[in-house]
Structure 1
Amino acid sequence: MNEASILLVDDEPAILQMIETVLRKEGFASVARAHTAAEALSACENAAYDLIVLDVMLPDGSGVEICPFLRRMTDAPILFLSARASDFDKLTGFAVGGDDYVTKPFNPLEVVARIRALLRRSRKTEAVRPAAGASATVHDFGRFQVREEAGELWVEGRQVGCPSLVFQLLLFLCKHPNRFFSKSELYERVWGESSFGDDNTVMVHIHRIRERIEADPSQPEYLVNVRGMGYKLVRREDGYER
């Protein structure tokens, strides 16, 4: 039995019933429903969920519009469902805080597989909580620090919220400073599977990191890229110059 708590948000009862039925058959016992954007926000205010499946088109708003508000309440992975299949729509979903994007019509077993993958990745961050008496590992880059066991990002002395996959990517780069990684390498090392053309996912998460650690995300000084090579996280004291 899977103990993860999942919130399904969709205004189509048939879709909710289909996904919930498959989830329960696959061992997920805690599944809640919301039919509107308002219900989704209320649900997250009153309960904690391990993952949210969020429809883009809702009767009282857009899943894309409410996603930033959900992000203020939870770091749980968010899986978008949408009939919109363009790259722009997918990138928009990632940019506002989504972690995955599935287009309609879909195979419910694929949705469950993606849910399992998101939960597995999310738990990687949860697993690095400090043990009693354990020494804390801090990756110090001057302007910001990553506290590994605590799963915390601090920027200029202030703790900054960081969704699980964003934190995992940042932590991986902190452990390998000044080393270039291609987008496909980062996907395989952090997401734990072959990229299969998911380069956009890495790009969006790179942008999310820059929004948090850079003074000017459009002119990054720490998380830099070189065309044709990839990305690397630079220690400023190591003498890197843009």
Structure 2
Amino acid sequence: MLLHGGEDRTVLIVDDEEKIISFIASYLRKEGYRVHEASNGFEALQLLERSPDIDLVLLDWMMPGINGLETCRRLRTFSQVPVIFLTAKSDEVDKLIGLELGADDYITKPFSIRELEARIRVILRRVSVSTTSVDNARSDNEILKRGALTIHLTKHAVRLQGEAVMMTPTEFKILKTLAQSPGRVYSRLDLLEIALGEEYAGYERSIDTHIRNIRKKIENDFSNPVFIVTVHGVGYKFGDVL
């Protein structure tokens, strides 16, 4: 489990501005992280395909060639590594677009390097704690079966009618939480704190984006969901699926 700084963790920084890469990389290395660097989306995708040890990606939004959004979209076709967007765009709509493409978080430029490292630490800790907790689960509780949906807790894997469904760490945490307590209603704030921690209390509406992403992957009829049901004015619950 990650306890202090970046011990035994690898971060990929993707930005077309050399000064920004150098600034972030220098700080993270001092905090104990291993760092890979990429100056564009193509280089980042190549690194990710051949470097399975990367634990998190810091991804600039505005880059020549393929921008951060397209890089994230392509990345999500083969990897669920956590992604934090670095963006000069402050509009909520822009940020939600990034989350819809599979990002786990975003931070707006200019940013505090300490805040950035704290965001990295929160996400990596969440992934570590989740993995440790399911690894310690009893064998008869390792798999959740909910209708055509199968959730492998220790493998962090999801299957729908036997077909693999790729989930980001945040999506998996939300789905697992709901599926473990069918019928229980969770508020947005509940799910946000479970999935991302109390530090993200101000990002409550971002849960809607993550829920929408999950539904696109597992619901047969997106307009009439049966797995993740909206409880209007309250939040979400896992439906009574047989």
Structure 1 length as normaliser, TM-score? 0.91
How many pairs does the alignment contain? 236
* Equivalent residue for 1:85, pick from 61, 68, 90: 90
Distance 1:12 1:194 in 2: 28
The one-letter amino acid paired with 1:70 is L
The corresponding residue for 2:45 is: 41
Distance of aligned partners of 1:143 and 1:100 in 2 relative to their CA distance in 1, 3 Å threshold: same
What is the root-mean-square deviation of aligned Cα atoms in Å?
A: 1.9
- Structure 2 gaps, min length 5: 1-5
Structure 2 length as normaliser, TM-score? 0.91
The corresponding residue for 2:66 is: 61
Matches within 5 A, 1:225-240: 225-237=230-242
Is structure 2 residue 115 aligned with structure 1 residue 115?
no
Structure 1 counterpart SS, 2:12: strand
Distance 1:15 1:26 in 2: 17
Is structure 2 residue 27 aligned with structure 1 residue 22?
yes
CA contact (8 A) 1:187 1:194 kept: no
CA contact (8 A) 2:142 2:154 kept: yes
Distance 1:93 1:123 in 2: 23
Once the 2 structures are TM-superposed, how far is the Cα of residue 33 of structure 1 from its aligned partner?
A: 0.5
Is structure 2 residue 5 aligned with structure 1 residue 13?
no
Once the 2 structures are TM-superposed, how far is the Cα of residue 140 of structure 1 from its aligned partner?
A: 1.6
Spell out structure 1 runs of 4+ moving beyond 3 A: 128-136
Is structure 2 residue 100 aligned with structure 1 residue 98?
no
Structure 1 counterpart SS, 2:205: helix
Structure 2 counterpart SS, 1:173: helix
Q: Deviations over 1:28-61 (max 9, x none)?
A: 1x10110011111111122121000000111212
- Structure 1 gaps, min length 5: 238-242
Distance 2:191 2:83 in 1: 21
* Equivalent residue for 2:225, pick from 213, 220, 223: 220
Distance of aligned partners of 1:189 and 1:64 in 2 relative to their CA distance in 1, 3 Å threshold: same
